[in-house]
């Protein structure tokens, strides 16, 4: 018996989905890329649904799905599991593209007993840098999704395909334009924090890693990192394909998936013991990547109290950006190292981590204080931080106008020049 259905859920704990294929067939779940909908898999469905019951899902705010932003890739994985639980699905194969692949990695780490076999398309254990994705969020918050939509074909398709298939290019642009901006920004933040490089060895399912030979987003280098880290993984390179290989080279990707899921499916659960505790993505910046001036592990600050240094470094990187923090630490030496440790521990670990104010409000306070003190160099980095923390350029403008009254017109005038340059740089879409 064949069934086709579409269900839109209004809860914050499940995802919008569609089912194709016979009711009694094994379950195969397909996950989308950021900015796409389940329709990116349309050209695989005819063949895959002959043998499997295929479940496709939309990310929050994509394809008309309810706009309930997800805080992390792990959150998306848990929402997908809740959706599958509602459908009575316990064990399944999984294939995901880009962020959909990240969801598959989280599933294999957190719930290995649920995943029978895995395919990762255009995926990576870490997608670019946290700074890149947070800057993309700033662009969307300021300009909407149109700049991202117009540049999507360049990221997703080879030039030859884009020239030959204008209808598909327009479909891609409109798909991004109709995405909820808040959910897109949240997905960018989730990818900024995603880093499972240290956990790849724990993936216990047979894994196929598929990558387009021309993919400039998550290309062959990232695919090889996955294959090197996952014990039972093999690599498939798709010639003439960029990031959205399932759209650009549908027959090749379909054949690879069909063969993988037909031959690598595990029939028993014996090889997949449930983990004693969920394995989550580690912080954006592992300690091993911190520059030498700050690599010494600080001691506890008092009996029974956790040292705030690591929490402070995490927040400092999230707010100011990895590039800025790396530059500061790289310039450090024996003379400045203790000062940088003090800033990380007390300013970022003690104050910025307090729950009394959210980060947006702390940015408002910080900008005002820096204008009052005339600290224009610090104002530049904290204007970038304010944009990352969710303030819009118009809100920053209002803060600076307010400081003209209470801190003085000359101070505000200088602050406007600094902030204007930073905002223009940060809100301009990058190639």
The 3-class SS string of 185-250 reads HHHHHHHHHCCCHHHHHHCCCCEEEEEECCCCCCCHHHHHHHHHHCCCEEEEEECCCCCCHHHHCH
CA 12, CA 76: separation in Å to the nearest integer?
11
- Using DSSP's 3-state secondary structure scheme, residue 82 falls into helix
How confident is the model at residue 296, as a pLDDT? 41
- The pLDDT of residue 331: 87
Nearest residue to 210 (alpha-carbon basis) of 73, 97, 103, 104 = 97
CA distance 168 to 181: 22
- What CA–CA distances, in Å, run from 393 to 210, 295, 354, 421? 40, 36, 25, 11
10 Å Cβ neighbour count for 66?
17
Q: How many residues does the chain have?
A: 431
pLDDT score at 274: 36
Least Cα distance to 94 among 122, 121, 125, 115 occurs for 115
3-class SS of residue 73: helix
pLDDT of residue 191: 96
Beta strands in 233-344 (DSSP E): 233-238
Q: Are residues 207 and 225 in contact, defined by beta-carbon separation less than 8 angstroms? A: no
Q: SS3 for 57?
A: strand
As given in the structure block, the two tokens for residue 400 are 């600076």
Please state, in angstroms and as integers, the Cα–Cα distance from residue 59 to each residue in 63, 79, 149, 187, 211, following that order.
8, 10, 17, 9, 21
* Residue 11, pLDDT score: 61
Q: Give ∠ CA 177-183-187 in degrees, rounded to 5.
A: 105
The answer to whether the beta carbons of residues 257 and 48 sit under 8 Å apart is yes
Tell me which residue of 131, 188, 89, 109 sits closest to 322, measured CA to CA: 131
Q: How open is the CA angle 100-104-107, to the nearest 5 degrees?
A: 135
Element housing 7 (H / E): strand 2-7
The segments of the chain whose pLDDT lies below 50 read 1-3, 5-10, 268-300
Helix (H, G, I), strand (E, B) or coil at 92: strand
pLDDT of res. 284 = 30
- Judging by DSSP bridges, how do beta strands 27-31 and 115-121 pair with one another? unpaired
Q: Which fold has domain 2-263?
A: Rossmann fold (3.40.50)
Query: How many C-beta neighbours within 10 Å does residue 291 have?
Result: 16
Residue 183 region, left (φ>0) first, then alpha (ψ -120 to 50), else beta?
alpha
Give every strand in the sheet of 2-7, ordered side by side. Answer: 2-7, 17-22, 53-57, 27-31, 92-97, 115-121, 207-212, 233-238
**Which DSSP state fits 305?**
B
Q: What is the largest distance, in Å, between two alpha-carbon atoms of the chain?
A: 75
pLDDT at 160: 96
Distance CA 363, CA 282 (A): 25
CATH architecture, domain 287-427: Up-down Bundle (1.20)
Tell me the two tokens of residue 156: 């997703």
The helix/strand count (H/E) of the chain reads as 18, 8
Report domain extents, the chain.
2-263, 287-427
Q: Are 73 and 9 in contact (CB under 8 A)?
A: no
Q: Could you tell me where the beta strands, DSSP code E, fall in 43-163?
A: 53-57, 92-97, 115-121
């Amino acid at each position: 018996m064949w069934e086709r259905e579409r269900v839109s859920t209004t809860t914050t704990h499940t995802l919008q989905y569609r089912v194709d294929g016979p009711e009694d067939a094994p379950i195969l779940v397909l996950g989308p890329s950021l900015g796409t909908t389940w329709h990116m898999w349309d050209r695989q469905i005819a063949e895959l649904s002959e043998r499997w019951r295929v479940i496709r899902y939309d990310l929050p705010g994509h394809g008309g799905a309810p706009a309930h932003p997800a805080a992390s890739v792990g959150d998306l994985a848990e929402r997908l599991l809740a959706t599958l639980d509602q459908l009575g699905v316990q064990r399944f194969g999984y294939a995901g593209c880009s962020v959909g692949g990240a969801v598959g990695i989280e599933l294999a780490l957190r719930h290995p007993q649920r995943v029978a076999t895995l395919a990762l398309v255009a995926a990576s254990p870490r997608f670019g840098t946290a700074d890149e994705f947070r800057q993309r969020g700033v662009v969307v918050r300021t300009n909407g999704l149109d700049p991202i939509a117009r540049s999507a074909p360049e990221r997703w398709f080879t030039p030859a395909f884009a020239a030959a298939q204008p209808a598909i290019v327009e479909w891609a642009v409109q798909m991004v334009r109709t995405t909820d901006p808040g959910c897109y920004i949240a997905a960018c933040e989730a990818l900024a924090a995603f880093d499972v490089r240290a956990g790849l060895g724990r993936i216990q399912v047979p894994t196929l890693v598929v990558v387009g030979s021309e993919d400039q987003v998550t290309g062959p280098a990232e695919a090889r990192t996955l294959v090197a880290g996952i014990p039972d993984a093999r690599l498939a390179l798709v010639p003439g394909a960029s990031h959205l290989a399932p759209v650009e080279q549908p027959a090749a990707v379909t054949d690879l998936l069909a063969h993988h899921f037909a031959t690598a499916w595990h029939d028993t659960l014996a090889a997949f013991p449930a983990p004693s505790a969920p394995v989550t993505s580690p912080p954006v910046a592992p300690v091993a990547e911190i520059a030498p001036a700050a690599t010494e592990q600080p001691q506890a600050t008092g009996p029974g109290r956790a040292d705030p240094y690591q929490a402070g470094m995490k927040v400092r990187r999230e707010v100011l950006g990895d590039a800025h923090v790396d530059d500061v630490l790289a310039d450090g030496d024996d003379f400045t190292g203790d000062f940088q440790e003090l800033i990380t521990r007390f300013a970022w670990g003690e104050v910025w981590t307090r729950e009394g104010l959210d980060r947006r409000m702390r940015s408002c306070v910080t900008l005002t204080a820096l204008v009052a003190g005339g600290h224009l160099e610090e104002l530049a980095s904290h204007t970038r931080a304010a944009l990352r923390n969710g303030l819009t350029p118009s809100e920053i403008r209002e803060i600076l106008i307010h400081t003209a009254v209470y801190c003085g017109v000359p101070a505000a005038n200088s602050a406007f020049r600094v902030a204007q340059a930073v905002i223009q740089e940060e809100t301009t879409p990058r190639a």
